[in-house]
Amino acid sequence: MSATLLQSDDVTRALTRIAHEILEGNKGSSNLVLLGIPTRGVHLARRIAGILERIDGDTQIPVGSLDVTMYRDDLMSNPMRESALTQVPVDIDGKTVVLVDDVLYSGRTVRAALDALTDVGRPAIVRLAVLVDRGHRELPIRADYVGKNVPSARGERVNVRLSEIDGDDVVSVTSGGDA
């Protein structure tokens, strides 16, 4: 069974609100760098940067991707994972880096991202933006900007579809066998 949580318009509204909150928290768009966590986080980061640029006029927000595969703590307990590209377009030292991902769950991906970030540079501030926070954290990590909080059971699956990859924007939850 699958229930839709966010339609295309809801996704756009959520990202627009996140963009405004980023501007408010950062007091403008200066010094901002958006780094998406592949694959869907990168597309979300690009969209948020696009919205920021529309709101704030002529500033260009640097957007990159930060692959965390090599930093994961479950490399030896899951099947081999394909990695993805890391591309950081600017020097992040002293900047405000906003990490962007689609779903925040255990927090382990973000833990790996913080380690990966340390090897890239030393930002002044690191923030976290996610489209969906589904709870069940296993580490002391929280998001600064959340598109939608989705209370979920562990057995459920939260699926994020984005038009860049999947053809349409939908966030849905599927109940697992034991849920």
168 vs 92: CA distance, rounded Å: 32
Least Å from the CB of residue 9 to another protein: 33
Least Å from the CB of residue 42 to another protein: 13
Position among 25, 30, 85, 155 found at the interface with another protein (CB under 8 A)? 85
Least Å from the CB of residue 84 to another protein: 6
Give residues 92-121 in contact with another protein (rule: CB under 8 A): 115, 119-120
Contact 138, 167 (CB under 8 A): no
Number of shown-chain residues binding another protein (CB under 8 A)? 20
Q: Which is nearer to another protein, 5 or 35 (CB)?
A: 35
38 vs 109: CA distance, rounded Å: 11
Choose among 175, 143, 176: nearest CA to 41.
143
Q: Which is nearer to another protein, 74 or 166 (CB)?
A: 74
67 binds another protein (CB under 8 A): yes
Q: Which is nearer to another protein, 12 or 86 (CB)?
A: 86
Return the C-alpha torsion angle 65, 69, 116, 162, nearest 10.
30
115 vs 68: CA distance, rounded Å: 8
87 binds another protein (CB under 8 A): yes
Q: Which is nearer to another protein, 16 or 106 (CB)?
A: 106
Contact 158, 152 (CB under 8 A): yes
Rounded to 10 deg, the angle between the 8-26 and 40-55 helix axes is: 60
Least Å from the CB of residue 117 to another protein: 11
Contact 94, 82 (CB under 8 A): no
81 binds another protein (CB under 8 A): yes
Given the rule CB under 8 A, which residues bind another protein?
67, 69-71, 75-87, 115, 119-120
